[in-house]
Amino acid sequence: MDAKHLGDELSVVLHTEAELHARLAELAREIEADYADEPPLLVGVLKGAVMVMADLARELRFHAQMDWMAVSSYGAGTKSSGVVKILKDLDSDITDRDVLIVEDIIDSGLTLHWLKENLESRGARSVRICTMLRKPDAMKVDLEVAYNGFDIPVDFVVGYGLDYAEDYRNLRDVAILAPHVYGGEG
Ligand code: PRP
């Protein structure tokens, strides 16, 4: 689905599919150089990371093994609680492995902060983060992000895996959702 198929549901396209793919190619070259000795295990966080995982893994010029986790960041009622529950765990043993977490977006940073520590505690050799998008003005914790696609403003953003009520994940571009869709002001 392209932005043009959505009429007035989107305010503005922030990054087109072509821009996302071009930036991912740049990140892939950095990742290849950094992991020249041994490819990392790519760990995608469902569901939003499906698109970036599919594109990044195919762009990489080494064997990219993939595993998946599903986490809920609403443990204690609010997303900002930082309480994370594992809904689906890894299939792989990551002891002594280099792990690269693949995400669609880092918002408050709480989910990834928790996840990074969790994976480190399992004996991984290293745990780094790759995200397509980051909202610097929403960050609540100090989080080192090794590979970041684009910094974006604190708006309601959909597409390329990001949803509103489970819709818009299959939009090819990243766009700001029009406020009238979710009852916001604007
Ligand atoms: C999104 C995103 C991250 C998390 C980031 O997932 O994929 O996992 O939120 O937010 P944070 O930085 O504030 O912790 P979401 O919970 O929306 O689930 P989804 O991937 O299934 O859409």
Please name each of the domains of the chain with its CATH number: 18-152 (3.40.50.2020)
37 alpha carbon to ligand 1 midpoint, in Å?
Answer: 31
Ligand 1, atom 13, residue with closest C-alpha: 108
Question: Does the predicted TM-score (pTM) go above 0.85?
Answer: yes
Ligand 1 atom closest to 135 (CA):
12
Question: Of residues 55, 107, 137, 142, which has the active-site annotation?
Answer: 107
Whether ligand 1 lies within 6 angstroms of the CB of 163 is answered as yes
Per-chain mean pLDDT for the chain? 94
Ligand 1, atom 22, residue with closest C-alpha: 48
pLDDT at 3 over 90: yes
Q: Which of 46, 69, 74, 107 to mutate to test the pocket of ligand 1 (most atoms within 8 A of CB)?
A: 107
3-state DSSP of the chain = CCHHHHHHHEEEEEECHHHHHHHHHHHHHHHHHHCCCCCCEEEEEECCCHHHHHHHHHHCCCCCCEEEEEEECCCCCCHHHCCCEEEECCCCCCCCCEEEEEEEEECCCHHHHHHHHHHHCCCCCEEEEEEEEECHHHCCCCCCCCEEEEECCCCCEEECCECECCECCCCCCEEEECHHHHCCCC
Catalytic status, residue 107: yes
Amino acid 102: pLDDT: 98
Amino acid 19: pLDDT: 98
| pLDDT band at residue 74 under the 50/70/90 scheme | low
pLDDT, tens digit, 9 for 90 and up, residues 77-124: 555 667 789 999 999 999 999 999 999 999 999 999 999 999 999 999
Please state at what angle helix 50-59 crosses helix 17-34, rounded to 10 degrees. 60
pLDDT-above-70 percentage for the chain? 95
Whether ligand 1 lies within 6 angstroms of the CB of 48 is answered as yes
85 alpha carbon to ligand 1 midpoint, in Å?
Answer: 12
Amino acid 131: pLDDT: 98
Ligand 1, atom 21, residue with closest C-alpha: 47
pLDDT at 160 over 70: yes
Amino acid 81: pLDDT: 66
Ligand 1, atom 7, residue with closest C-alpha: 48
pLDDT-above-90 percentage for the chain? 90
Amino acid 78: pLDDT: 53
